[in-house]
Amino acid sequence: MSNLSHTGQAAYLVINAGSSSLKFSVFQGGAKADLEAVINGQISGIGTAPRFQAKDASRHVLADHGWAEGENPDRATLLSHLIDWLDGHLKGATLVAAGHRVVHGGTRFAAPVLVTPEVLAGLETLIPLAPLHEPHNIAAIRALAEVYPSLPQVACFDTAFHQSQPWQSQTFAIPRELTAEGVRRYGFHGLSYEYIAHRLPQVAPELADGHVVVCHLGSGASLCAMRGGHSVDTTMGFTALDGVPMGTRPGTIDPGVLIYLMREKGYGADDLEKLLYHKSGMLGVSGISNDMRDLENSDQPAAAEAVELFCHNVAKQVAALAGSMGGLDAVVFTAGVGENSTLVRARVAEKLAWLGVAVDPAANRAKATRISTTESRVPVFIIPTDEERMIASHTLNLVSAVSLNRAA
């Protein structure tokens, strides 16, 4: 258990836990506007060959080591190591809370919450909705509570931002009793979209109340229609499989394909899960890689076809979301591919020329904040996302509110 001192500036630990890795960041500051990222890193190879890596804000390596062969520490032990390591690297700051990215909040959790036994019990009921993600999010919360029980923990949900959508954006055309049981569209990447919704008015104040499509394009990819900074519609639905093709996920697919595979090819649920989550998308189409950088650098026709398929679907969804919210005042690219792929942005913009979208090649290559031409009827922006900062901000706000209530 940690011996972190209770003096100095406040520090907030942000955790994004996966099946075999745990990414973390540390923010310091006494107010939302003052939050500063000071450390980031990850524990990879959990369950096989764990490795601990950490860097400071200048990307200087602070730690990089693994465990001896034969050692296989569990999550609690690894988190204990992280907490103890932070004790010597926070330079007088006090770790006051931890915030977790939790993929699914269902219909119950529409905002960040302080973790309690009741909240944990509620999260357990959501595992069937996100079986590949939710268990690992929960496991990290439980493991941290085991090694540092006095540390407040906050759960921040990737689905919460989309709770503002109208019912028609959330509802499948299926029997109402299934909808009532929770079979509906939830949407994901909400923490990223929430960050962009806060950042966009600073970048372009005239768009604060506008109709904006945000393209969160990475290994996992989705788009969100935002009106006045609120989610109106999004491409992901009941799971993170729907919408545009992704690194290893197919995006929208005719459900009849799955029935065909079950009847004619003998696929079971596990086979379909493996196909849809791990073997499809850019990897499946190209047969080369799930990484857009590899595909752009390849001279293989299948790689070019994969890139074209991706851009085609992104452009199609931009147009569909514009129709869903009744207008289009701006397009924003964000996340790994959206922020870094000059080619993808250019191709998508070309396919949206009929909407008045025109991108300046020089600005696009330079990754300028605004990459559209002055003649473009629809401005186009690159705004880097920061989900970790969003989680840290929520954690600070919630813990501060609880402290004020107790003081009162």
Active centre residues (catalytic): 158
**Looking at the DSSP assignment, which residues form a beta bridge with residue 217?**
221
For residues 178, 181, 186 and 190, what is the CA-based torsion angle, rounded to 10 degrees? 180
Q: Please state the length of the chain.
A: 408
User: First and final CA of the chain: distance in angstroms?
Assistant: 31
Strands 153-157 and 94-102: parallel
CB neighbour burial string for 47-83, b if at least 16 within 10 angstroms, e if fewer = eeebebebeeeeeeeeeeeebeeeeeeebbbbbbbbb
22 contacts 47 by C-beta, under 8 angstroms: no
Taking the CB of residue 28, how many other CB atoms lie within 10 A of it?
A: 22
Residue type, 407: A
Taking the CB of residue 106, how many other CB atoms lie within 10 A of it?
A: 19
Alpha carbon distance 408, 398 (integer Å) = 15
**Looking at the DSSP assignment, which residues form a beta bridge with residue 35?**
none
